[in-house]
Amino acid sequence: MSRKSDQRAQATKALASHILENGLAQTSLRQLAAAAGVSDRMLLYYFEDKTEALTAALGAIAAEMTAALATVIPEGEKLSAGELFEKLSALTMSAKFKPYMRISMEMIAASNDESAPYGAISNSIATGFLHWIAGNLVSDAGSDTNGDAAAILALLDGLIVLSICAGDDTALLARNRLVETAFRAKN
């Protein structure tokens, strides 16, 4: 029982990085197995089936994403909505983070058809993200923490979509515009 779980863990890592590089679209068992350096037969020995393999890999990717989030704000320090949006958008639009957002988009787009676990995974990532954002917002009297968190996540997602389908320059234009006014005090 030792060998299998070890190699399974190692394969999970390899699958995660392969998916990050190549997306979710072309992920046949044989491709995934080659990327992990094993035979397809072995991949189905480590994992119950393809869905379980993908779920494990996507789980690892999600973990990396949430770990990256922690780096954008000082330990346990709460920020205003405007500051948090500025810092988070800088992260999510960075070249290093783009692959993660790309995969997220693929999962979200694929979550409509009920095959594959994409819907459940993207949903749990989104709600986790929302809670994390809400938990790092200062809660002024009269402020709507949940509304702010939802708005921030919408903006982050929107900027990523825009960068994909209209280019990075347009996305930066939108970000600059939104940083200015989107979360200013309600006066």
Binding site for DNA (CB under 7 A): 1-4, 7, 26-31, 38-42, 44-45, 49-51
- Here the tokens at position 98 are 């783009």
Q: How far is the CB of 9 from DNA (least distance, A)?
A: 12
Question: Among 173, 127, 172, 181, which Cα is nearest to 150's?
Answer: 127
DSSP characters for 100-120?
Answer: HHHHHHHHHHHTTSSSSSHHH
Examine residue 2 and tell whether it contacts its own copies (CB under 8 A).
no
Tell me the β-bridge partners of 137.
Answer: 79
What is the Cβ-side half-sphere exposure of residue 24, based on CA atoms within 13 angstroms? Answer: 23
What is the Cα 146 distance to its own chain's centre? 20
Nearer to its own copies, 52 or 157 (CB): 157
Nearer to its own copies, 2 or 26 (CB): 26
Count of residues engaged in binding its own copies, rule: CB under 8 A: 52
Nearer to its own copies, 60 or 155 (CB): 155
Q: How far is the CB of 62 from its own copies (least distance, A)?
A: 12
Nearer to DNA, 9 or 90 (CB): 9
* 101 within 8 A of 92, measured Cβ to Cβ: yes
The CA distance from 171 to 173, in Å, is 5
Q: Which residues bind its own copies (CB under 8 A)?
A: 22-23, 25-26, 102, 105-113, 122-123, 125-127, 130, 144, 146-148, 150-151, 153-159, 161-162, 164-166, 170-171, 173-178, 180-184, 186
